Amino acid sequence: MLYGPLDKLRKGLPLRCEIDSDAPAGTGETVLGPVTGGILLSPAGKTLVAQGYLDVELEMQCVRCGRLHPVNLHIVVERECSLEQIDDPSAYLEEEDLGPMPIANGDDIDLSELVRQLIIINVPPRPLCRPDCRGLCAQCGADLNEGSCGCEAEATDPRLSALRAFLREP
């Protein structure tokens, strides 16, 4: 995701980057289409401020039923960047705080790493195919979204049998 020379930013002028390209490698998810959006890079002293949005569609597995389903992410971008070289290890802080994200690749602007990290950070931790997903039967593994499975009612955990006996005593 290269966006031309750094000259405009070095002169202190803002730069608008329209994004419509494949997702960068290394997101860890299956991306179903291009990443789209727009990011405005504005000089702010020794750093830059990246503001805008990204839209991307991922294919993820439901944590309840295991079905693959599309997940649309709308990512609001608000990140500090720097004109340091992406491949320079000293451009990255080893502290816990996130420092400015380097976006220079030679004499060009490269937003690939910024986009990759934003996708990773915004992936839902427990994706559901739908909010009311009933999941799988714990006994037979049937998909409960397609109807009941016919298994008997849930049996009581045998470790709780002493408590059940205690509650029945008068």
**40-58 pLDDT tens trace:** 998 888 888 999 999 999 9
Give residue 124's pLDDT band: very low, low, confident or very high (50, 70, 90).
Answer: very high
Whether residue 134 contacts residue 144, with contact meaning beta carbons closer than 8 Å, is answered with: yes
pTM over 0.85: no
Q: What does the alpha-carbon distance between residue 160 and residue 93 come to, in Å, rounded to a whole number?
A: 52
Residue 101: its pLDDT value, please? Answer: 82
What's the pLDDT tens digit per position in 63-108? 999 999 999 999 999 999 888 887 766 656 555 556 788 888 888 8
The whole-angstrom separation of Cα 123 and Cα 131 is 16
CA distance readout (Å), 81 to 57, 58, 84, 125? 25, 26, 9, 26
Which stretches of the chain are DSSP H helices? 7-10, 112-122, 161-168
Residue ranges covered by each domain of the chain: 2-133, 136-170
Question: In whole angstroms, what is the distance from residue 61 CA to residue 48 CA?
Answer: 36
